[in-house]
């Protein structure tokens, strides 16, 4: 009971002190004004004096840096966001140096190389995405972002209707789509349709029919690459999925034609 009483006493003291410090009269005294003789002219003149007294080169650099850092909160694309962040950090670092604030100077100085490294990674990713868009639709550029996984004969990669969370790129071995009988040799993409289907569900069952290796990448990582590569990667994925849908449609038409021919012969 005593500890509760002590805590209540401490809280009351904190509230009383806060209320006292936030009294209008005390704030006016701290601003150098007479609480008993306040006029709009006196208040305006005092605020103007405070503003003019703080117009220094260090504060101007800090103001420009703040503008750039606030601008990053309004940006949707990662590359200009990183550039604006670097500019803001540079201005804050200069401000810290001019105001002799070692903590501020070191903090924003250390943030500069961190943002520079991330910017370099983003620019390389954008370049690879653009090259892939203009080239032969190779998935080579995506491999550094993927994880290796091995399967043995008879292993099931995924089943139709299962939740889809990742995409596969075959490296070695062979894989069979059970519903269509299509085999995937090395160098083929699997599981990309689940990225676009409602609720991210698998559209077919795939099994390993020859021991092999695949590379996987999660849909979350794909979305990250999509937003970081200036949305061009989304166009790349749409082309790949469109090709897969066209291939599936062609096979369906061929199966229908064979079935019609068989029925006609009978």
Pairing of strands 206-210, 156-158: antiparallel
What are the backbone angles phi and psi of residue 34, rounded to the nearest 5°? -90, 115
Q: DSSP secondary-structure letter at 163? A: B
10-residue averages of pLDDT along the chain (266 residues): 64 67 62 64 68 77 90 83 91 90 90 90 72 57 85 93 91 90 86 79 91 91 71 64 70 73 72
Residue 175 contacts residue 183 (beta carbons within 8 Å): yes
- The pTM is what? 0.47
pLDDT the model gives residue 150: 94
H-assigned helices in 206-231: 219-228
Name the strand (E) or helix (H) holding 167: strand 166-170
pLDDT the model gives residue 49: 72
pLDDT the model gives residue 32: 65
């Amino acid at each position: 009971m005593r500890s509760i009483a002590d805590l209540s006493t401490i809280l009351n003291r904190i509230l009383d002190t806060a209320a006292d410090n936030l009294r209008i009269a005390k704030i006016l005294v701290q601003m150098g004004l007479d609480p008993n003789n306040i006029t709009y002219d006196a208040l305006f003149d005092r605020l103007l004096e405070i503003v003019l007294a703080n117009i220094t080169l260090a504060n101007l650099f800090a103001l420009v840096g703040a503008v750039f850092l606030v601008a990053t909160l309004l940006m949707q694309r990662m590359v200009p966001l990183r550039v604006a962040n670097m500019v803001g950090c540079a201005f804050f670092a200069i401000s810290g140096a001019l105001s002799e604030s070692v903590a501020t100077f070191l903090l924003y100085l250390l943030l500069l190389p961190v943002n520079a490294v991330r910017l370099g990674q983003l620019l390389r990713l954008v370049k690879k995405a653009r090259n892939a868009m203009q080239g032969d639709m190779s998935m080579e550029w995506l491999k550094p972002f993927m994880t290796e996984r091995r399967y043995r004969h008879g292993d099931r990669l995924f089943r139709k209707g299962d939740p889809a969370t990742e995409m596969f790129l075959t490296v070695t071995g062979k894989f069979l789509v059970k519903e269509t009988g299509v085999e995937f040799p090395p160098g083929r993409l699997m599981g990309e349709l689940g990225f676009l289907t409602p609720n991210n569900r698998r559209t077919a069952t795939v099994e390993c029919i020859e021991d092999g290796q695949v590379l996987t990448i999660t849909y979350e990582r794909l979305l990250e690459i999509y937003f970081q590569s200036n949305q061009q990667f989304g166009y790349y994925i749409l082309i790949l999925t469109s090709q897969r849908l066209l291939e599936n449609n062609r096979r369906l038409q061929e199966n229908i034609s064979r079935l019609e021919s068989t029925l006609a012969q009978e």
